[in-house]
Amino acid sequence: MQKNEQIQAFIEGEVLCFDKPLGWTSFDVVNKVRSMMRYVLGIKKLKTGHAGTLDPLASGLLIICTGKQTKSIESFQEMEKEYTGTFLLGKTTPSFDLETTVDGHFPTGHITHELALQAAHKLSGHQEQIPPQFSAKKIEGERAYEFARRGEHTELKARKIVISKFEITRFELPEIDFRVVCSKGTYIRSLARDFGKELHSGAHLKSLRRTRIGNFQAEGAWTIEAFEQHLQALADPKA
């Protein structure tokens, strides 16, 4: 595809899959991709958005839509998601992940592989899950994490979710690796909390990667660096 054709395709509407790096917010990626397309290709105005937020401490698939394809964002958000990651047993944090420091210690000596499998089975299927206090849920116009960072507790309502698969892929206490396939609205950090409680212990999320949204895969998705090189090649008059 020639430069002018690609520019027109971006403007009219494209669905782009990116591998979000650790430490970046989802909006960081959107802003970076939009600014690269505008600067490198000379596009003055470009409507851009993402389909499904990933926490800064998570990596993996982020779908970015341009132009008319931004109208498809809601349908992508409704799609089934797949994640892999690691729970750390025996310790809890207020955010249920590494964003905050450890606030509780719990025994793990009684936990066996069989008990972990039983807990995963119990937390599979239709569930009612309470979102984390450190989440982007809105309460009276403010994000829940804004209250949490001020040390203010808020009551978050449980929401119905579906966990269609919850597999234990590595059992080496205090770490447990997992693969989860779930519905929209599932918080894997909350699953870490619930998993720890189910094991009569505590747990938080050590690492997380989104590997799939519907039929879109993280494997083969653009990195920021590769996409920038692609754009520069398109912009090169000698190409």
The predicted structure's pLDDT at residue 158: 84
For the segment 26-40, the average pLDDT, to the nearest whole number, is 92
Residue ranges of the chain assigned to CATH 3.30.2350.10: 81-213
The predicted structure's pLDDT at residue 7: 79
| Predicted confidence (pLDDT) at residue 47 exceeds the cutoff of 80 | yes
Kindly indicate whether the domain formed by 3-78+216-235 is annotated with CATH number 3.30.70: yes
The predicted structure's pLDDT at residue 9: 85
The predicted structure's pLDDT at residue 114: 98
**Measured CA distances, 146 to 102, 201, 208 (Å):** 19, 28, 23
For the segment 157-180, the average pLDDT, to the nearest whole number, is 96
Judge contact between 213 and 183, C-beta under 8 A: no
Contacts of 116 (CB under 8 A, 6+ apart): 168, 171, 176, 199
Class of domain 81-213: alpha beta
The predicted structure's pLDDT at residue 136: 61
What is the pTM (predicted TM-score) of this model? 0.91
d(CA 41, CA 52): 26
The predicted structure's pLDDT at residue 72: 94
- The tens digit of pLDDT for each residue in 101-110 reads 999 999 999 9
d(CA 90, CA 112): 13
| Predicted confidence (pLDDT) at residue 70 exceeds the cutoff of 80 | yes
| Predicted confidence (pLDDT) at residue 8 exceeds the cutoff of 90 | no
**Measured CA distances, 187 to 121, 131, 182, 191, 203 (Å):** 17, 6, 9, 6, 14
Active-site residue flag, 177: no
Question: pLDDT averaged over the chain?
Answer: 90
Residue ranges of the chain assigned to CATH 3.30.70: 3-78+216-235
d(CA 195, CA 205): 10
Task: Choose the catalytic residue: 55, 97, 103, 194.
Answer: 55
Q: Which of the four pLDDT bands, split at 50, 70 and 90, describes residue 162?
A: very high
- The tens digit of pLDDT for each residue in 184-222 reads 999 999 999 999 999 999 999 999 999 999 999 999 999
The predicted structure's pLDDT at residue 237: 65
